[in-house]
Amino acid sequence: MADDIFCQIVAGRIPAEIVYQDENMVAFKDIHPKASVHVLLVPRKHIPSLAELKAEDAPVLAHLMQKAGAVAQKLGVGKNFKLVINTGPEAGQVVMHLHIHLLAGKGLPQSP
């Protein structure tokens, strides 16, 4: 059974600064923020990466995307934010548990 660092956060075994959670996902502050608002939207279910998303798990991803606006609103950045999904080590994915970076505010990286 997978037990990466996000599995451990989702299970409450290691601490994180949680800003939103429900039965399908947890959103918490990135420990090394790249912008003044940098939150990770993480499914409770272990899915290693977007490249391994099965059709049956598509609703999990849709749920994360759907909640992004509400999380951004809660963090005071309204309707101005960027979502990033690093997929695979060569694209910068370090934690092999699907997650969406929600970035906003000062220091927001520019588009590729």
Query: Which residues sit at the interface with ligand AMP, rule CB under 6 A?
Result: 5, 16, 28, 30-32, 40, 86, 92-95
CA-to-CA distance for 84 and 37, rounded, in angstroms?
13
- Is residue 99 flagged as an active site residue? yes
Q: Count CB neighbours of 63 within 10 A.
A: 16
Residue type for position 78: G
- Give the pairing of strands 25-29 and 82-84: unpaired
Rg (CA), the chain: 13
What is the closest distance, in whole angstroms, from the C-beta atom of residue 32 to ligand AMP in the complex?
A: 4
Q: Minimum CB separation from ligand AMP for residue 85, in Å?
A: 8
State in angstroms the smallest separation of the CB of 11 from ligand AMP. Answer: 13
Which is nearer to ligand AMP, 56 or 104 (by Cβ)?
Answer: 104
Query: Looking at 32, 63, 97, 99, which residue is catalytic?
Result: 99
| Pick 26 or 79: Cβ nearer ligand AMP | 26
The catalytic residue positions are: 99
